[in-house]
Structure 1
């Protein structure tokens, strides 16, 4: 009889939960959410979404429910957007309504709604405007930052030369190069690649993205509401404590040597603004927002670019004919007697197309950053309630068959017209789109072009295995796509 009593109790529990969830769904969604698979009590769409392959599971659901549908991560409803048209209609055509940010559970303890990337409302608007202004004042989009990148490219080049044609993994060197550019803006100086503190920072950034993209992190993000009841469960997810300690140390150093009339970097600019608003109890210019904004800037300004080129170099070795054409164009347009500059891009349509195609195929943030609806809004005939999480699957935009000639293959012709001229494509959204697009998009584009052309101007990238044996499968695919481990030889060109 005991087993029967237990069974009946469980049935009553699940039925009660189901009725409660159904009631809340009707209340919250007003009966007009996009269609989607029927969720089970507590576990939502557990049967339809494989947590180790969240993106693939969602893309499979698209086949049945179309480009706009609803899924449940546990008891949390999520609006999923697939393909160029649906993402454009939301993030661009209804930019304000879809400009909110919801933080996935694995990142919540690290950011807690603070900083420029994961805040909302007035806080986000103030911090974003301030950060854009500071980035521009320190050269973003100007000749001064181009010269800084060109200088860093020479340090990167020297690291490649030191390998003396022996096999090496380029991941760390590329991480140092990209990190140094954003560090020079945020901290006011670049670091030597041998600097132990800097090395630790580069490793921490890479580890952060890798951990956030594991199967466990994806599982946690879906079922955090229940998993958090298990003591110590979050310890399996990488947090940013070490990075925050390093940032706090740098802020303190700046505070001790601050000159209100001569800001040296992003930190100084923020501290000066703090001083100006010290009598404003509602000011957003507080240490916590400074720390988390720096964390966001360094995180975004380092790993995305370095991972893109890491994967890009692998693609060039997989397709040696593409590398050969890039070498030919660099030799013809730039030669070997000067540094590449951003003006060269206009005369190098093939190289420009290759870099865009590398970004498209590296697909660094395949699910995009999670958005949130800022107010009740009508979308494609449905009523989307304020506060609902939105996943714009950028991967489905970057591989949209209606927008690209070869959506699932590495092909620079995706960005070339019939005359071999560079062709823009509005579905090219590696930096997302709308009001929440990447703060440093202009800087990232410049870095990718200058680092890429400088390395290819000087080296031929040689694989340790035949091109046909190169495996392009990502190590991890979650919040970001982590390139596979490999080694190459840099042969003087």
Structure 2
């Protein structure tokens, strides 16, 4: 909450005070970086100095300095390095990540088709599809959406995330010694965390009972294999507590963000039917109606690829980049930033920087196309962050967005329900900047 407050102030003050601005929260300074060049200088050129996360009293209590998302130092380095290598390994092979995403995309098309072109709210269908994929990556198999324990896992992560951006979180951090004796939302958040961790530990136990160290199939298998390899290393941080927390990190980081982006994709296709039809026509002209789509096809579909990138740019789903903390003293662009100072990157200002984008406040896929219509990869495109803490699941998210979008658009024309003239483009400001609830009609193209 306080970080969001900082950025809201920064939007008003950056023009007057420049792209590096210090805001004081009681006696704590928070440095806010805005604009592409300043954020690049911080996250990329000074990546090592800004690799740490600030850990509040509540985050330490909830995460116990375990996992990847909210830990620092040697443990973070080991866990993150392992996570990067393992996510890469899970993407390989005939039953790798892309194959799993394609299968889930087909299931999502089938779920949309059940509405038979009548108005539907796509949010639950999309969230279920994304959480199912993370389940496959983590546990090696799909969970039924009716599975009570799996739902408790998702609910626990959601409750914890919402508490993290609430005023109660601020109160807890001012009075941690008092809050442990008082009832309130913090008690529910911590309880949900325990339930979610318990579920993860049950899955770890199942894997240990049937594990085949020679042929790891999922994140837990790879981690247990690493634990075995590290048995004689006294400095190893590979243990079941870290593994359980890493699993929760994967769900927390990958579900809400990707689901919210896909919701924006559908909303904007409804709002811009000309863009929707141009992307569909490109797919039909290049691939034909019988060709199945693969992630490699994005190279043949520059306009479709540009549309997805532009949705991520125009409707960036976080109110602010996840805060950093200086691990050592930092001298940047003529400013001295002391060790342990909180640093917030305003990634919205990067993705809407008027110096980098022709029409920053408008949805415009041409931002990613040259004059000949070829796709342009732009350095200023930073929705996954940058530097030492760049999003661990970036490659998986990119595949999900492309494959879900292409499968859905080839199967349906998306339009407003009869009698509805428009839907709001304003975001709900919270943990993510997701759209207000809306309904659309997914009209099967075979019936057009």
TM-score by length of 2: 0.90
Matched, 1:226 2:188: no
Match of 1:190 in 2: 142
Counterpart pick for 2:203 among 250, 256, 261: 250
Please give the alpha-carbon distance, in whole angstroms, between the structure 2 residues aligned to 1:186 and 1:371: 27
Q: Secondary structure at the match of 2:383?
A: coil
Asked if 1:173 corresponds to 2:125, the answer is yes
RMSD of equivalent CA atoms = 2.5
- Partner residue of 2:290? 337
Residues paired across the two proteins, number: 440
Q: Alpha-carbon deviation of 1:211?
A: 4.9
Deviation string, structure 1 residues 353-376 (Cα, Å, up to 9, x no partner): 110011112211231111111111
Task: Provide the C-alpha distance between the structure 1 equivalents of 2:159 and 2:435, rounded to a whole number of angstroms.
Answer: 13
- How many Å apart are 1:469 and its aligned residue? 2.6
User: 1:235 matched to which residue of 2?
Assistant: 186
Larger mean Cα displacement after TM superposition, 381-390 or 443-452? 381-390
What are the superposed Cα offsets for residues 170-214 of structure 1, whole Å, 9 maximum, x if unpaired? 11211122222222121111234444444444455455545544x
Measured in 2, the distance between the counterparts of 1:460 and 1:106 equals 46
Instruction: Report the equivalent of 1:401.
Output: 354
Q: Which runs of 5+ in 2 are unaligned?
A: none
User: How many Å apart are 1:451 and its aligned residue?
Assistant: 0.6
Q: 1:444 aligns with which of 397, 410, 421?
A: 397
Q: Quick one: structure 1 residues 364 and 69, their matched pair in 2 at CA, closer, same or farther if it must change by over 3 Å? A: same
Write the distance in 2 (CA, Å) between the matches of 1:387 and 1:124: 17
Q: Tell me the secondary structure at the aligned position of residue 337 of structure 1.
A: coil
Residue pair 2:264, 2:311 contacting (<8 A) in 1 also:
yes
Greater CA deviation, 128-137 or 254-263?
254-263
Aligned match of 2:322: 369
On the 8 A contact 1:475/1:485 being kept in 2, the answer is no
Say if 1:147 and 1:485 are closer, same or farther in 2 by CA, change over 3 A.
same
Please, which runs of 5 or more residues in structure 1 have no aligned partner?
1-48
Residue matched to 1:138:
90
Aligned to 2:240: 287
Contact 1:91 1:433 in 2 (8 A): yes
Aligned residue in 2 for 1:318:
271
Contact kept in structure 2, 1:263 and 1:269, CA below 8 Å: yes
CA 1:210–1:360: 2 relative to 1, 3 Å: farther
Q: 1:206 to 1:232 in 2, by over 3 A?
A: closer
Measure the CA separation in 2 of the matches of 1:251 and 1:190. Answer: 15
How big is the shift at 1:328? 1.4
8 Å contact from structure 2 (residues 427, 435) kept in 1: yes
Computing the radius of gyration from Cα coordinates, the structure with the larger value is 1
1:469: which partner in 2? 422
Matched, 1:273 2:226: yes
List per-residue Cα deviations over 1:303-340 (Å, max 9, x = no partner): 21111001211111122221121221122122321321
- Deviation per CA, 1:210-233: give whole Å up to 9, x if none: 5544xxx1x355554425445335
In the alignment, which of 351, 365, 378 is matched to residue 425 of structure 1?
378
Where does residue 74 of structure 1 map in the other structure?
A: 26
**1:52 CA displacement:** 7.3
Rounded Cα–Cα distance in structure 1 between residues aligned with 2:196 and 2:209:
20
Does 2:12 align with 1:60? yes
Of residues 398, 404, 409 in structure 2, which corresponds to 1:456?
409
Greater displacement, 460-469 / 147-156: 460-469
CA–CA distance in structure 2, aligned partners of residues 203 and 337 of structure 1: 39
Deviates more, 1:96-105 or 1:237-246: 237-246
